[in-house]
Amino acid sequence: MDLTKNRVAQVLKNPYSVSDYSPKDWDLLIRQARQSLLLVRLYLLLEEHHLLDNLPDNIKNHFISATAYSNKLTQSLIWEFRCIDKALAELHIPVILLKGSAYVLASDHAANGRLFSDVDILVNQDDLAVVESALKKHLWVGTHQNDYDQRYYREWMHELPPMIHLKRQTTLDVHHNILPTTCKTCPDPSKLMANIVKIENSQFWVLAPEDRVLHSATHLFHESEFKHGLRDISDIDLLLRQFSSQENFWTRLVNRSIELKQQIPLVYALRYASIILATPLSEDALKGIAPYTPNRIKLKLMDFLFLRVLMPEHYSCEDIWTGLARLLLFIRSHWLKMPLKLLIPHLAKKGYQAVNDESAN
């Protein structure tokens, strides 16, 4: 796989590479970055290195408009935090923000230029009923209302059916774990809760730094679609660079991956962050995770798949094998989430629903 096709990753690794860009080069970079939701992150990086001063306005305007949109989304997110806090304040329970929302509130480097479409929170499973009830009183309503989907989410998944606010049309995902309960490597949620960190001057919590990395890795490497996979590996890169300055971070990261049964996602996160974005890694961490690394044949297969899907979803980054890689990882995702005795009936049911929906339209 020709990784040099990935212009976005090349610039993230070395922003000075744009110094001799032609208008055609800029056009391709902007298209790839827009598909990856990384246009604002690139803009902030290039601005930091004073590489935008001499750009023509027709190129710079793409970055400026994307940044204005990102700032608006961040303002809306802060308001959404207040609304969620108001809805759940009387419950007096820990509400943990996940992924992009957590990066913003914790001021993580991964918040830089981060675009997102929903808010994810984590609560104790025993509190799900009261949380859902409180949110409904504040005009969040559930989706996926048919009986099968309700059972799918409530019995097998790690979250409630997504909730949408009736007025603002914002989406809220309420989790009780970071992986489906049917997944063999589903972690003990009490272990996650034991290490949460309170956000200063806020009613919210976030996962511990090492757990934030592991959740990002777990989410990405159990994923079935990789439209924004490059953004997610960039998140991991930024989190690792930020937290690596903390004392014993790498040791804590490896130990937590074992404790939470997320060694394999961590192996892939470290491997592909290093290959794609040249993320500096600790030798001790690599030694600690080595016993869980797949054998050479499987690793070559994973490279074949992941190095294709973690490119921008743009024709300039695709080859004849990209479609196959996406299909195989889609199948792998479902294989990881559910045992065959549940997976086969589930896929048959969803296929039947899709056919009926198509007929109705």
- pLDDT at res. 357: 56
| Average pLDDT, integer, range 255-260 | 97
Beta bridge partners of 95: 204
Mean pLDDT of 234-239: 97
Is the pLDDT assigned to residue 288 strictly greater than 70?
A: yes
329 C-beta neighbours (distance < 10 Å), count: 21
**Average pLDDT of the residues in 303-327:** 95
Tell me the pLDDT band of 278, cut-offs 50, 70 and 90: very high
Per the structure, the complete domain to which residue 292 belongs is given by: 3-360
| pLDDT tens per residue, range 133-156 | 999 999 999 887 778 888 888 888
Over residues 311-340, mean pLDDT: 90
pLDDT of the residue at 228: 92
- At residue 7, the pLDDT reads 95
| DSSP β-bridge partners for residue 165 | 140
Q: Are 262 and 218 in contact (CB under 8 A)?
A: yes
Q: What is the pLDDT of residue 185?
A: 93
As beta bridge partners, residue 172 has: 119, 163
Q: How is residue 240 written in tokens?
A: 């690792």
Decide the pairing of beta strands 95-98 and 204-206: parallel
Please determine, for residue 347, whether its predicted confidence score (pLDDT) is greater than 80: no
The total number of structural domains in the chain stands at: 1
With a cut of 90, say whether residue 229 has pLDDT above it: yes
Long-range pairs of 73-82 with CB within 8 A, sequence gap ≥ 24: 73/115, 73/116, 74/104, 76/170, 77/101, 77/104, 77/116, 77/119, 78/104, 80/119, 80/168, 80/170, 80/172, 81/105, 81/119, 81/202, 81/204
**pLDDT tens digits along 103-119:** 999 999 999 988 877 89
Mean pLDDT of all residues in the chain? 91
**What are the tens digits of pLDDT across the range 75-102?**
899 999 999 999 999 999 999 999 999 9
Measure the CA–CA gap between 241 and 84, rounded to whole angstroms.
31
> Can you give the pLDDT at residue 337?
85
Residue with tokens 């990066």: 103
**Confidence band, pLDDT 50/70/90 cuts, at residue 203:** confident
